[in-house]
Structure 1
């Protein structure tokens, strides 16, 4: 858990076979919720952490670390 450093357990139980198109939707929804819970800001298809922005004053620049997800 990024907020209190506790471990998070995730249990996935196989119930039935799903088509690939169904799984892509499920994974995209899962990633969307994870990125929201991590309080990342979305620009286009990328997610950025504005709280960890790095200032580069000599170039009047601010760099935000971020993530790109693809399923």
Structure 2
């Protein structure tokens, strides 16, 4: 059940992050960005802020996905 919730949060975070950053990607890329962002942002945010719960994971996932999109845009040039 935890993996399914993790994927759902990652998908939602990827969708939200791509819309915030104005990136037009296919669904598979959006999901990959969200899940990677959930890994990066979720763990970093939980470690740094020491906040537990799924909401902290979601916020971290969105922030992590935005960070990945930003890095992708910079290094893609």
| TM interval, short-chain normalised | 0.3 to 0.5
Indicate the structure (1 or 2) with the bigger Cα radius of gyration. 1
Structure with the largest fraction of helix: 2
Tell me: higher relative CO, structure 1 or 2? Use CA pairs within 8 A at least 6 residues apart: 2
**TM-score (normalizing by structure 1):** 0.36
